[in-house]
Amino acid sequence: MNYCTILLTKLLDIIDKNFLKGLINKYNADYKVHKLTTEVHLLYLLYFHLTKKESLEDFVSDLKNNKQLNKALPKISKSQLSRKNEDRTYKIFFEIFQHLFDKLKANKGLKKALKEIGSVKILDSSTVSLCLSLFPWAKFRSTKGGIKLHTLYDLNTNAPENIIISDAVIHDKEIFYNLTFNPSYTYLFDRAYIKYQKFDEFIGATCCNMKSIA
């Protein structure tokens, strides 16, 4: 947990302080707010996702039982956090994301590397949890539903090229058959996507030295 609080602080350092202050003023987000400020709310959300919490109850339990964690994240009740998730506009966090994304695009080291490597595409999936009572078709686990977004992202254009939606229970490798690969591009994906029959077909259609990578 201690490492996680240090990481959270480092992540906040990436966001320009003047930008964040201007954003808070723009949406009047911290008016009469003393405890759950926008910055603290952002830290809560980051911790929730980095530690892969299943629910607000799990998250609040962590805060309640870890004094070391409370140095960075103050205790809060589930109802308080739920209300703030409803009340505070998502536009703040969207603009923070856009701000960080623009900083990434301006990274000269990345641009230089892409010139040397050529076209690079990244394939990865994200699981979106859904309420099973509202989405009974999205079966995932016994207590919740979900879907997966499989995104093929073009690093050169900074935009998704293809997004495939599947049931959350479908293994990533099953999606491999739905994708078309160009031998002139470099693809980055984790081993969850490797379907060896399809992968062998892909390698066979490209240069021989890729076999050593497999």
Summarize pLDDT for 6-65 with one digit per residue, the tens: 677 788 888 999 999 999 999 999 988 888 899 999 999 888 888 888 888 888 888 888
Contact 211, 203 (CB under 8 A): yes
Give, in order, the Cα–Cα distances in Å from 59 to each of 49, 75, 119, 135. Answer: 10, 10, 40, 24
Confidence class of residue 186 from pLDDT cuts 50, 70 and 90?
A: confident
Q: 159-167 and 120-130: which strand pairing?
A: unpaired
CA-nearest of 113, 144, 143 to 127 is: 144
- Is residue 157 scored above 90 in pLDDT? no
* Residue 212 confidence class, pLDDT cut points 50, 70, 90: very low
Per-residue pLDDT at 210: 43
Condensed to tens digits (0 to 9), the pLDDT of residues 85-127 reads 999 999 999 999 889 888 877 776 777 777 777 889 999 999 9
Answer yes or no: are the C-beta atoms of 174 and 148 closer than 8 Å.
no
